[in-house]
Structure 1
C-alpha cells in the first residue's frame, strides 16, 4: 500500500542534510519507488525541501500564498498512489499553530494548545492518513541550537533565558508527540543523538524508515549555526537599522576574517550559565521524555536509563555574553578596516 510520510522536524536535527540528500538523489529514488516532490509540480523553482509551502499554508511566506500551497499539496496527493513512498519534509510543521501570524507571539499553555491542535487537525484534513515522523534532540542541546538559529534568521532580542521561557512549547516533546499521534495514530520518532552516533544520520534515518537508499552517497553538511559569540553580537546589533538578512551577511563575512584561534574558542561554548543549570534544565524533562519510548524506532535503545542522558561534555565555557577574545579581535579588525 502506498505510504505518505510527513517528516515534521524538529529543527536542527539534520533536517537540511536529509532534505538535500532526498533532493540530490531525487531521480534515483523515483526509480526505486520513492517520490520526493518539488515545486516544479506547480511551475515554481524547485527547492530542496517543502518549507516554503508549509509556511505559505499558514500565511507566512512573502511570495507564496496559502492557495498556491494547497494546490501543490493536492498535486502531490494525486501522485501518491503511483509510488511506494512519498515524502514531504518541512520542520515548520513542528512549529506552526492555526492562523500563524508572521512573527511568533508568546503563548500561555491555555492559549497555545487549542491553536496547536487545530493546526494539526487542519494538516490531517489536508493529507488524510499519513505516517508522521519526527526527530527529537536532547532538550538542552536543542534549546541552544534553536536559539542560535532563531537569532540568526530573525531580529529576536531576548537573551537565552528569555528564549527558554518565551518558546517553552518547542521543548515539551511528549506533549507534542501526543498531539500529533492523536491526529495521526502511529507516530514514529527518532533520537538525534542515536542518528549521529552511526556516523551518517541521513543513512540511519532512511534505514529506520525502510527507504531503499543503498549505494547512494551522502551530501555535505549544511545550515551550520553561527557560533555563540557571534549570535550574542548579532542579537546586540538587532537594535540597529540593518535588516536581518543584511546583518546575517555581515556576521558571516566577519566570521571569515576572525583569527583561527578565536574561531577555535567558539567550539566549546554554551548559553547556559553553568553545568548545573544545563543539567537541571535537562532533568526537568526526564519523566516526560520516558513517555516517548512507545514512539521510538531505535532497535538498540536500552530499556534502562533515561531516554536522553543528562551528562554533558567536559570543558565547556558558559554564559550569554561576549567573551574577551572576540572583543579584542573585533577591536583589532576595526583598527584595520571597516567591517
Structure 2
C-alpha cells in the first residue's frame, strides 16, 4: 500500500502549469520508479488546456468544494476517488496529486477520507504580496473576464495567508512552503525546485515555462475593453498568449508608484506571515511597469493586436473596435 502522498496545491501563478505538464509528460518514467502520477481526475472539458487535463482538478473539487450540507456527498466522492487511486497505484510507494483547487479547502473532512492511511506532504509556492496581487489581477482579466482596474481589484483581494497556512499545517503531516522567486528556486526553475522539494527524480526534458504568460500594457488594455464589451472567451485569452510571449511590455505588471506600493503592503499582514515561513523576501518593484491605455503607444498597439486576431471577425467588427479604426485612433485592420 502506498504510504506517501505528495499534494502540490499551487498557489495560482506560481508555475503550476509547468509542474503539471512535466509530471504528466513523465508519468511512465515515474511509474517505473514506484511513483504514481494518476492519469485521471483532470479537466476533460472541450476547452480544457493541456495543464488542466494533466492536473487533478476534478479530484480536488470533489474533495474541497461545495456547501457544508453536502459534506456527506463530498466524503462519498472522496472515498470513490480513494478506491480508484488505490487500484491505479498498486505496487507503488509514492502518490502525487497536483491541483490549485486543493488550496480552496476550508473543511478538510472529505480530503481526510481521500488521504486516509497516507503520510501527506504538501508543497505550496507563495509570492510576495504585491507580486501576487498583480499576477492574480492580470489572470482574472485574462481568464475570467474581469474588466475593473487593478486598484479596485486589490481592495477586495485578501489572501489571508496566516489562516491559509494554519489550516494546512493542521492537516498535512509536513508542509513545504516555498518562495516563488527565481533567485531562490533551484537553478531558477520551479519544476526542478518542486522535484527537489518533493524528493522526486528529475528526468530532464521540456519545462513548459513559457505557458500562460501574464497580460500587461496595451495587451491588458485591449482585453479590458473586450471584457467590458462582453467579448471575453477562453479562446480569445489563448489567442493573446503568443503576443504576450513575443513582447516584454505585453507582460509587464500594472505600474504602481513607490508610495502606493508601500500603502498597499501596509494594508495587509501577508508579507510578515510570508517572511515567517521562508525568511527574508525581496519586494517586487512595479514602478517600472506599464499602464493599459498609455498614449500614443496604445493606438498603434491596438491596431497590431486586432491584425493578429484574424480568427475573430466578430470581435474585430464589434462597434467598439470598429470605432477605433474608423476614427483613425489606430491603424485600419486589413
Which TM-score band (shorter chain)? 0.7 to 0.9
Which position in structure 2 is the counterpart of 1:277? 260
TM-score by length of 2: 0.73
Corresponding residue of 2:70: none
5 Å-filtered alignment, 1:302-313, equals: 307-310=280-283, 312=285
Q: 1:274 touches 1:319 (CA, 8 Å); kept in 2?
A: no
Residues 12-23 of structure 1 mapped to structure 2, 5 A cutoff: 12-23=13-24
Return closer, same or farther for 1:81/1:176 CA change in 2, 3 Å cut-off.
Answer: farther
Give the TM-score of the pair, scaled to structure 1: 0.72
Q: By how many angstroms is 1:134 displaced?
A: 0.7
**Distance in 1 of aligned mates of 2:207 and 2:41:** 22
Task: Give structure 1 stretches of 5+ with no counterpart.
Answer: 60-64, 98-115, 294-305
> Partner of 1:101 in structure 2?
none
Number of equivalences: 290
Q: Is the 8 A contact 1:9 1:15 kept in 2?
A: yes
Q: CA deviation at 1:19?
A: 0.9
Residue 174 of structure 1 and its aligned partner are, at CA, apart by 2.8
Give the C-alpha shift of residue 73 in structure 1.
4.5
Once residues 244 and 50 of structure 1 are traced to their aligned partners in structure 2, the CA distance between those partners, rounded to angstroms, is 23
Instruction: Provide the secondary structure at the position in 1 that maps to 2:259.
Output: helix
Distance 2:248 2:212 in 1: 19
Q: Is the 8 A contact 1:272 1:278 kept in 2?
A: no
Partner Cα separation in structure 1 for residue 82 and residue 155 of structure 2: 34
Q: Output the CA distance in 1 between the equivalents of 2:144 and 2:102.
A: 18
Map of 1:1-339 to 2, 5 A cutoff? 2-39=3-40, 47-55=53-61, 58=65, 71-80=80-89, 82-94=91-103, 96=104, 116=106, 118=107, 120-128=108-116, 129=118, 130-169=120-159, 172-193=160-181, 194-196=183-185, 198-213=187-202, 215-221=203-209, 222-248=211-237, 251-252=240-241, 255=243, 263-267=247-251, 269-282=252-265, 284=268, 285-293=270-278, 307-310=280-283, 312=285, 316-319=288-291, 321-331=293-303, 334=325, 335-337=331-333
Question: SS of the residue aligned with 2:145?
Answer: coil
Q: Distance in 1 between matches of 2:128 and 2:288?
A: 17
Kindly indicate whether the alpha-carbon contact (under 8 Å) linking 1:136 and 1:192 is maintained by their aligned counterparts in 2: yes
CA distance 1:280–1:52, shift in 2 (3 Å): same
- Mean alpha-carbon deviation: is it higher for 131-140 or for 74-83? 74-83
Deviations, residues 64-103 of structure 1 (Å, cap 9, x unaligned): x978786444311444563121110001212x35xxxxxx
TM superposition shift of 1:280: 4.1
Report the alpha carbon displacement of residue 321 of structure 1 after superposing the two structures with TM: 4.3
Cα offset for 1:26? 0.8
Question: 2: distance between equivalents of 1:51 and 1:264?
Answer: 31
Structure 2: gaps spanning 5 or more residues: 67-72, 308-324, 326-330
Cα 1:163–1:74, aligned 2, differ >3 Å: closer, same or farther? farther
The separation in 1 between residues aligned to 2:148 and 2:93, in whole angstroms, is 45
C-alpha separation in 2, matches of 1:228 and 1:197 = 30
3-state DSSP class of the match of 1:276? helix
> CA offset at residue 166 of structure 1?
2.0
Provide closer, same or farther for how the CA distance between residues 168 and 44 of structure 1 changes in structure 2, counting only shifts above 3 A. Answer: closer
Once the 2 structures are TM-superposed, how far is the Cα of residue 29 of structure 1 from its aligned partner?
A: 1.0
Whether contact under 8 Å (2:212, 2:241) holds in the other structure is: no
Q: Please state how far the C-alpha of 1:126 moved relative to its aligned partner.
A: 2.9
What's the C-alpha RMSD, in Å, of the aligned pairs?
3.5
CA-CA distance at 1:179 after TM superposition: 1.1
